[in-house]
Amino acid sequence: MYRERPSRVSGAVVWTRTVAGGDERPVLPDGCMDLLWCEGRLLVAGPDTRAYVPDAAPGTRYAGIRFAPGAGPALFGVPAHELRDSRVALDALWAGPEVRALAERITEAPDPATALEAAALARAPVPDPLTRAVAQRLAAGWSVTATAAEAGLGARQLHRRCLDAFGYGPKTLARILRLQRALDLVRRGVPFAEAALTAGCADQAHLAREMRALAGMTLTDYASAANSETSTPSGSWTTA
């Protein structure tokens, strides 16, 4: 069972999940990084460029905080591209004694998700306005050229900034955010063709190709999963 709610950390989402038997739905790329607690362990999920299929036993419990695109690197202290398509233990990034004490405190808390959120809130850096603006414009369907011009950056500068902040270049980020826009509409029951056009795809066939390339599944399969009570809209819950 998956649940999520808005976080007190700006732009973030707090989520929990208990793995059910036979629940192996993929986690889809969303441009985000997550801080995870899993049965006493603290992990970091880097930004994905493809669907990730978790391997967790039924009954495994997770709590996580999914940061807004571009917000994770300042918290974790590493460029996003260094964690792309990976899951790592938090003590590989932060001091081991600090991570062990934090993991123990969260595990002993009545609600690990709330304790995890409090820990993230205490360390959350001030959002970078330029990074946030780039993500917002690409998410709204702006072209990479227009986004770079509005930000006052050259193409190479924007590419470097995107690698550090999001884990991949602006074209890949734009594709992922466009797919997420379309899937948000699909979850609301919008017909596939309408969702494709509204999100910025050329047509339904274009969206279907992007779905297969980035998510590894069909729109029909996604819509069916999204209507089940254990589906995961987005995010990066996982084992390391």
Structural domain boundaries in the chain: 1-240
Mean pLDDT across the stretch 107-126?
Answer: 95
From CA 141, how far away is CA 105, in angstroms rounded? Answer: 42
Q: pTM of the full predicted structure?
A: 0.88
* 8 Å CB contact between 124 and 42: no
From CA 119, how far away is CA 107, in angstroms rounded? Answer: 12
From CA 77, how far away is CA 226, in angstroms rounded? Answer: 34
* 8 Å CB contact between 18 and 54: no
Q: At 23, is the pLDDT very low, low, confident or very high (cuts 50, 70, 90)?
A: low
> pLDDT per residue over 189-236, tens digit each?
999 999 999 999 999 999 999 999 999 899 998 988 777 644 444 444
**Which string of b and e fits 134-172 if b means at least 16 CB within 10 Å?**
bbbbbbeebebeebbeebebeeeebbebbbbbbbbbbeb
Mean pLDDT across the stretch 73-82?
Answer: 96
Which CATH architecture fits 1-240?
Orthogonal Bundle (1.10)
Torsion angle, alpha carbons of 214, 220, 223, 226, to 10:
-70
